Structure 1
Amino acid sequence: MKVVGLTGGIGSGKTTISRILRDLGAYIIDEDVVSRILMQKGQKVYDDIVGYFGDGILKENGEIDRKKLGSIVFADKEKLQVLNEITHPAMVEYTKREIERIISQKKHKLIVIDAAILVEMGLDKLVDEIWVVYVDRSTQIKRVMARDGLSYSEALNRISAQMPAEERLKFGDEIIDNTRPLDEVRAQVEMLFYKAIE
């Protein structure tokens, strides 16, 4: 069973591509979901984050306020680095176990790891090929502002914290241009899916 890494900057529309792939029968490992699981109370990652950032990042119920944490780390590269050092190794380990579990079940045709920072995290070492979802910068900024209710400068901070789109494209075995109409994008994704499971 092939493992594909699906990557693209924040606001590139990876979620849409993931949804199409899931409908086709792929098993999606969404790294945003993985990080949420690992940031829950009782997890080592939770303890390490609270230990470093303090109780100020917690909601009243004791859960980590991801929005608050995000606004801290995306405004401070050093703090982002610390957060990544806490979360990334745990996420890679979790993903490895998840891949093994899915392969052993033999239910799915394809495993897709959906991660904005696939290469930076080292998840690229777990995949057979990388598909990069691409949109131009102005589309990306508009989408992030609309989706997350951020100001222009906040959206720009988050985009700038990631690998530049041009750099990410170099890692792509396949490029999905998500600025095109949805039916064209869907047709390309279907073609890539069937090619991957041949």
Structure 2
Amino acid sequence: MLRVGLTGGIGSGKSEVARRLASYGAMIIDADRLAREVVEPGTDGLAAVVDAFGEEVVAADGSLDRPALGRIVFGDEAARRRLEAIIHPRVRARAAELEKAAAAADPDVIVVHDIPLLVETGQAAGFDAVVVVDVPEEVQIDRLTRVRGISPEDARARVAAQVSRAERRSAATVVLDNSGALTALDAQVKRLWEWLRADAT
């Protein structure tokens, strides 16, 4: 088994890379998806969030009211850290379960952990390789405003909340430049996959 960490700044196109790696046969473990899973109704994760932040973070249908929670933790470092202390250990435990099952089914599997905050959470050293999807900040801002409909001010705040490009790149084994056309990204991911396969075997 080869363990790969995949990360990139918001708007970098990390999900595009994950989709392409999956098409080649990689097993993708999506930290964002797991972060939603561990706070679904009835989970101890949701109960812990409610204990920490109150009933106002529960929607009428019993699910987590993400906008309400976001209003509490966005811009409040202590609140964000409390939330991370609840979510991150549960996400990592679930990711480890999925990885173990994948390795049992195929000892040569390439497991790609898609983790937006991989560098911020100090996980880079735990992987056999770290792939960083990189674009200039102005490209991030453009994509967030044009594609996601986020205001320029909000887009800049979200970019600023993450580590710098330089810090992210310094943790990389491989850097993929996604500032151009998707055809250029296709070629880079193909080369990456060939390298990962060679490394895995």
Equivalent residue, structure 1, for 2:69? 69
Measure, in 1, the Cα distance between the counterparts of 2:151 and 2:51: 30
Normalised to the residue count of structure 1, the TM-score between the two structures is 0.92
* Inter-partner Cα distance in structure 2 for 1:133 and 1:67: 27
**Number of residue pairs aligned between Structure 1 and Structure 2:** 198
Q: Secondary structure at the match of 2:188?
A: helix
d(CA) in 2 for partners of 1:141 and 1:70? 20
Q: Does 1:162 align with 2:199?
A: no
Question: Cα deviations across residues 60-110 of structure 1 (Å, max 9, x unaligned)?
Answer: 101112233234322222211111111111111111121111110118741
Cα distance between partner residues in 2 of 1:73 and 1:52: 11
Aligned residues of 2:102 and 2:109 also touching (Cα < 8 A): no
Alignment of 1:127-138 (within 5 A): 127-138=127-138
Alignment partners' CA distance in 2, 1:97 and 1:89: 12
2:185 aligns with 185
1:90/1:38 CA distance change after superposition, 3 Å: same
What residue in structure 2 maps to residue 10 of structure 1? 10
Provide the secondary structure at the position in 1 that maps to 2:131.
strand
Write the letter of the residue equivalent to 2:11.
Answer: G
Q: What secondary structure does 2:69 align onto? A: helix
Unaligned runs of 5+ in 1: none
| 1:97-176 pair list within 5 angstroms | 97-106=97-106, 109-176=109-176
Query: Which 4+ stretches in 1 moved above 4 angstroms?
Result: none
Distance 2:157 2:181 in 1: 28
Unaligned runs of 5+ in 2: none
